[in-house]
Amino acid sequence: MEGMEYRKEFASYGKRITLLWGAFIVCLVFTATISMWLGSIVGDRVAFILVSSAVQNVCVFMLPAFLVAYFITAQPVSFLGLTSRVSWRQVLFVIGVVVLSMPALNYIVYLNEAIDLPDSPIEEWLRSTEAAARAVTDELMKADSAGMLVMTVLVAGVLTGLGEELFFRGAQQRIFMLRGINGHVAVWVTAIIFSLLHFQFYGFIPRMLLGAFFGYLAWKGGSLWLPIIAHALNNSLAVVFGGMSHQGVASMQWLNTCGVPSDGDFPFMALLSAVATAAFIVCGKKLLVGGAVVK
């Protein structure tokens, strides 16, 4: 970033990466310990999941990001890309891409889940981790009140979007780019790491694509608030659609599966969604580049 001064003690790429991931591992162990303690005092299962998720986002993702930014520069908030404002046009651009791409993304999710690996201990482990993650998600989707749905959106949607973007795009991708790594490489490598750390192989490809989208928003838009908004919106829509679908709202059930064709049908809606999204990005990308205003 122009005009930013970096501390000489952490000028090397190796020290920056070691600090980021060292803090991540320490905080992960700490969070696991805290979660075990929370499990013994929080009786309600959904409340426990929400509290544990909130602690994880703050401790595992936000804290290491701010810590590494603090040691790298005396301007940690600017380093993470949080001092740049975004315009309403940029926000509308982000919303447009998220909404237009939903059918295409649903189809990619369907294709990824349909991958059939040869029977092996690894395949069994992948399936079991996927089932465990889905079980947790299903429990969150069973919100039986508007208040619980709002809390789920705030934690699984907004807080998760903020925490993960601070770590992956604010810190990790920024460190890659300061190393002189090509921007496209930095975006895609970060997206791969982002998807891998969710430990869900049968959702790896769509999550990687989302991570790349968030990365380009941070890079080309010049502000971390753009990927935060996109990430929070994507997660929040999934929570709302999933929650209302569990309550039997037919329209929400359709939104969860739009783009996925019936057996043997051609995925017209998914293809149309992909084309419309690409056209929207090409036509609107000028709104993104150079659109952020530094305070």
Write down the pLDDT at residue 263.
80
Average pLDDT, the chain: 88
Write down the pLDDT at residue 205.
95
Q: What does pTM read for this prediction? A: 0.92
Write down the pLDDT at residue 179.
92
Write down the pLDDT at residue 130.
81
pLDDT average, residue stretch 149-175: 95
Write down the pLDDT at residue 250.
60
* Selected residue with higher pLDDT from 39 and 149: 149
Asked whether residue 114 carries a pLDDT value surpassing 70, the answer given is yes
Write down the pLDDT at residue 149.
85
For 124, the token pair is 């069994």
pLDDT average, residue stretch 23-48: 87
Asked whether residue 245 carries a pLDDT value surpassing 80, the answer given is no
